[in-house]
């Protein structure tokens, strides 16, 4: 049976631990017991872990053999960054969860012109919640590392938090004149760093699309239909993953 995976908060030699609310979920919700086995992801590897001690806010594991995946689905250095404009939180957080499960490496919340002003103001206080969503989704999907979710940025500051080096940058637009996203990604198969920018409900404003093009982004569409922002983010992430396999 496939073991559930946890991403360790602390690792020292052949021991690891979950702490705080992270441990409390395992103890109170999943009713953990000493002797149970799980996969434990450290920064370097994934190892078999056996629970050796439990308290309300700490679970300790003895680490055993390394767990080796049967295959590596992406190029070893492939990474996807998702720049996600602020929109209604319940749908935005669903997109964050699902794109984490799919495998994004970085999520950048962005204030767009069409982001509701009240949501943009409230988003500053959502960082801790988003971190919890990312951690839970990463563990549920058996990822070995957490994606980064950055602090909220304005569009003009997006370049400052993008990864350095060669990067294919694609902004989603709804114009039928733009190339389909799949075609753009597959035409740049040498790229292992991809940044995707997904706008809010109503899409990016014209001046924002102009800014993207002026700063080296390629505009691409997802077809003739208009998708909700959260659907567009998930579809775009899936297409990027496919292009990087």
Q: Indicate the domain borders of the chain.
A: 5-66, 79-244
- Pick the more confident residue, 225 or 102: 102
Band (pLDDT 50/70/90 cuts) for residue 74 is very low
pTM over 0.85: no
Superfamily for domain range 5-66: Hypothetical PUA domain-like; domain 1 (2.40.240.20)
Q: Is the pLDDT of residue 75 over 50?
A: no
Which is nearest to 63 in space by CA: 90, 78, 76, 45? 45
Mean pLDDT over each residue of the chain, to the nearest integer: 88
Band (pLDDT 50/70/90 cuts) for residue 133 is very high
Q: Is the pLDDT of residue 76 over 50?
A: no
Average pLDDT value for residue range 202-213: 93
CA 101, 103, 108, 111 torsion: positive or negative? negative
Q: Is the pLDDT of residue 192 over 50?
A: yes
Return left, alpha or beta for 27; rule: phi > 0 is left, psi -120 to 50 is alpha, else beta: alpha
Q: What's the pLDDT at 200?
A: 94
CA 54/CA 14 separation, integer angstroms:
17
Q: Is the pLDDT of residue 30 over 70?
A: yes
Average pLDDT value for residue range 105-110: 96
Band (pLDDT 50/70/90 cuts) for residue 189 is low
Q: Is the pLDDT of residue 77 over 60?
A: no
Q: What's the pLDDT at 72?
A: 47
CB-CB contact of 83 with 196 (8 Å): yes
Average pLDDT value for residue range 196-218: 93
Q: pLDDT per residue over 194-203, tens digit each? A: 999 999 998 9
Percentage of residues of the chain with pLDDT beyond 70: 91
Q: Is the pLDDT of residue 119 over 90?
A: yes
CATH code: domain 79-244 is 3.40.1280.10
Q: pLDDT per residue over 142-181, tens digit each? A: 888 889 999 999 999 999 999 876 678 999 987 656 688 8
Q: What's the pLDDT at 229?
A: 94
Which is nearest to 158 in space by CA: 232, 211, 234, 105? 211
């Amino acid at each position: 049976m496939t073991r559930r995976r946890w991403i360790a908060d602390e690792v020292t030699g052949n021991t690891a631990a979950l702490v705080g609310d992270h441990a409390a979920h395992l103890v109170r919700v999943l009713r953990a017991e000493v002797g149970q086995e799980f996969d434990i992801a450290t920064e370097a590897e994934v190892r078999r872990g056996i629970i050796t001690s439990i308290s309300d806010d700490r679970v300790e594991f003895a680490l055993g053999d390394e767990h080796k995946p049967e295959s590596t689905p992406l190029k070893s250095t492939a990474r996807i960054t998702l720049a996600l404009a602020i929109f209604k939180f319940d749908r935005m957080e669903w997109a964050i969860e699902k794109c984490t499960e799919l495998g994004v490496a970085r999520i950048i919340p962005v204030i767009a012109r069409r982001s509701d002003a009240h949501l943009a103001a409230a988003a500053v206080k959502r960082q801790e919640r988003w971190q919890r969503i990312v951690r839970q989704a990463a563990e549920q999907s058996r990822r070995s590392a957490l994606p980064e979710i950055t602090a909220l940025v304005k569009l003009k500051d997006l370049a400052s938090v993008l990864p350095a080096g060669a990067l294919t940058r694609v902004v989603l637009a709804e114009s039928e004149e733009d190339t389909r996203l799949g075609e753009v990604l597959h035409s740049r198969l040498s790229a292992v760093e991809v940044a995707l920018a997904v706008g809010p409900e109503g899409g990016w404003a014209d001046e924002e699309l102009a800014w993207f093009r002026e700063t080296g982004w390629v505009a691409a569409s997802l077809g003739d239909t208009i998708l909700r922002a959260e659907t567009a983010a998930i579809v775009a992430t899936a297409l990027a993953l496919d292009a990087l396999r």
